[in-house]
Structures are given as structure tokens and as C-alpha cells.
Amino acid sequence: MPLFLEDKSKNDDMNNLSSIVENSKNYSFKTYTTCKICHEKAIGCHYGVLACQRCKNFFRRNVHKFRDFICHFDQKCLSNWALAKKCKYCRWDLCIKAGMTIATSRKQNNNSNKIVVAKSSTEKLEINESYQSEFYIKPDQTIIFNTLNNQSFTLYKEHTKGYSILEANARLKISLGKKETYNLSNEFIEIARQQDLDFLKSHSNTLHQIIQELPGFGKFSTNDLKLIMNSHFYPIIGIMTIKLFINNDYYFVFNGGVQMSRQVFTALYGKDSCENSMKFYFSLKNLNLTEKELGILIPFFLSSIGNLNQIENKETMKEVFEYYCRALLYEFKCNKRSLEFMNNFKNVSSMALEINNRMMNTDINSDPNGK
């Protein structure tokens, strides 16, 4: 395992992890966001929107009274919540504009709650014929899943935008028939090894930032967060740089200018690690996941801990995994993914933990061939 992952004190950003965990909000999946009307803490989905207790009660009390409301501030309070709180007319207007309806509430109560859910970690993800059958999702679930998917997608786009240039350069090289080859001298391997370490530290910081912003991960201790980050550290690199796996090679380029090609990958990690990793990454790419699916796949992997007994907050981890698994399956259903696709996804995702463990157990400070 890379040393910077074993010893968080060596990473300046990770020194503050304890205080971040202690000061973070205790998110749950219906309360991690804010009320769509007043922007205070939401308690759940009510009358079709995520709302706090006060706004929920206000809407319920005034369903038959709103026609008598009058604004005494010339509707200026619509842009000033302090005024809107005192003005029933404008507060009602804000509720309606946010999407509150009685019809939605009735629909929430009448709809059944059926969804295919994986019960355990990625390795044991079971997909069967029931995936193809029709299921219904409550409106509040739809809001939650869409919010999780959209937020994960936003984070994914934010942290992978720089790779489009590398992809364009790679495709230009390929079109010109150019291929990067290196003289694998001891000096070069040392340079490549240092550039790889620098990238892994950068990826660790990026992953830390993503976890901080993902809903549901705010309750975990420092030790739990370390395990979560390490559980799929290398597969997530593949997810984030997926567009750089082209023509059976890897076109990621370190900041120092060295391309992490198969040649360099083998020199740093050994032939077996390279071949197994490439098999996984290209299998993942061949699934042709959308960027939104790739975005939600990151928290899905992060919450797929191989050995749950290592986690201190086990119940929260189960809850986080269940919600992100549901969100991922919901995205697959929205994209009309077939049963064949689901079986292929199961097979690919089940490889992730093994690939990560193999890479983590490689000491990149030593010669992988034992020389």
C-alpha cells in the first residue's frame, strides 16, 4: 500500500480529517438537503417536495384557506424570506412554485414501493429476472435518487474535466500513428515512480474532497473514512480516467509528462498487476456507461466495503450502500439497461475489490520484478 495512504499525517489535507468529521452534519438521505421553500433543514419529502416541518405544516393548514390570503408588501417579500415568513400569501406562493401539491401527497400514499435492491457488497451483487419487471417508485424516492445521481454527476464532471484534453491528444497521436515508448533505465523508472506517487497523492486528495461533498458520508469516523477511501482507491482512478483507455492502452499522462502506458504500468507494478488491471478497466469501459452512471458508480463503490466488520459504523454503511445501490439501479432503469447489461455489470463490478487489493499490496517503491 502506498505510504501516504497508510499514514494520513503525511498528507496536510488529511491532518484536519478528525475535525472535519466532528463538525460535519449527520446527514441522512431525507435530511441531508434543505427545504425547497425556506432553505432550512428538510425532514423529508412532503406534498411532492423536500420540506422542513414548519413549511409542511403551513401548507397542510392552509390548503382550504389560501384564497383569502393578501400580500401587504406589494409581493416584495417573495425575494425576502424574513418578510415571506410573515406574509401568508407569498409563503403560499413559494410553496406552490416549489412544487407542493395535494395530488402528489395522495399519490405518495397510494403508490407501492417496489425496487430491486442489492443486499450486500459489490462482489455479491445479485441481478435476476425481476430487474426486467415493472416496479413503482414513490415520488419522494424519485426526488432522492435524482438528487443523489445529479450531485454525484456534478462532482464527477468537476473532477474529470481536465481529462478531455488528454483524450484529444491521445486520439491525435493514434491518428498520426505515434506511440510513446521509453527506455526503461533505472533513472527513468525512478522518475516515473515519483510522478506516479505524486498523482496518487493528488487522487487521494480528490477522493477526500468528493467524499466530503457526497451525501451520507458525514457520519463516519476517521478510521472508517480511511477504509472507505482505500476500499476501491484504484478502481475509482479507472472510473475517473475511463476515457483514456483507448486501443488496448492507457493514455493517462502524469503532470511530469510520462504516459502511464502498459509499458510503464508493467515497469512500476509488474506484468500480472498490469494485465489484470487493464482487463478490469477495459471491461468497465466496454459497458459504455454514461457519465451520469459513472458519477453514481463512485459512491456505489465507496460504500461497497468488502469486509463490513472492519467498519465502526456498520448500520450507517449498510444504509449508505443501500441508497446508492438503489440510485444506481434507478439510473440503469431510466436508461433502459437490459438484463444482459446487468449481468455484465455484475461480473465487472465483482472484480473491483480484488483489483484494488492487488494494487494496494504492491510496493511501488521497489522493483516489481524483484530485481
**What is the CATH code of the structural domain delimited by 44-98?**
3.30.50.10
Beta bridge partners of 45: 50
Q: Which residues of 211-235 are buried (b: 16+ CB within 10 A; e: fewer)?
A: beebbbbbbbeeebbbbbbbbbbbb
Instruction: Map out the domains of the chain as residue ranges.
Output: 3-26+116-360, 44-98
Give the separation between CA 55 and CA 7, rounded to whole angstroms: 47
Each residue's pLDDT tens digit, 47-87: 877 788 889 899 888 888 888 888 877 777 767 777 777 88
Residue type for position 82? A
Q: Using 50, 70 and 90 to split pLDDT, how confident is the model at 140?
A: low
- 104, with CB counted inside 10 A (0-12, 13-18, 19+), is middle
Give the separation between CA 255 and CA 370, rounded to whole angstroms: 27
* Grid coordinates given for 276: 489484470
Q: Which residue from 121, 119, 118 is spatially nearest to 306, judged by alpha carbons?
A: 121
Say what the pTM is.
0.65
Q: Between 68 and 138, where is the model more confident?
A: 68
CATH fold for the domain made of 3-26+116-360: Retinoid X Receptor (1.10.565)
* Grid coordinates given for 326: 438503489
Total residue length of the chain: 371
Q: Which residue from 341, 359, 302 is spatially nearest to 325, judged by alpha carbons?
A: 302
Give the separation between CA 6 and CA 11, rounded to whole angstroms: 10
Each residue's pLDDT tens digit, 73-124: 777 776 777 777 788 888 888 888 887 877 644 444 444 333 333 333 443 4
Give the separation between CA 353 and CA 339, rounded to whole angstroms: 23
Percent above pLDDT 90 for the chain: 45
From the centroid of its chain, how far is CA 256? 28
Contact (CB, 8 A) for 192 and 200: no
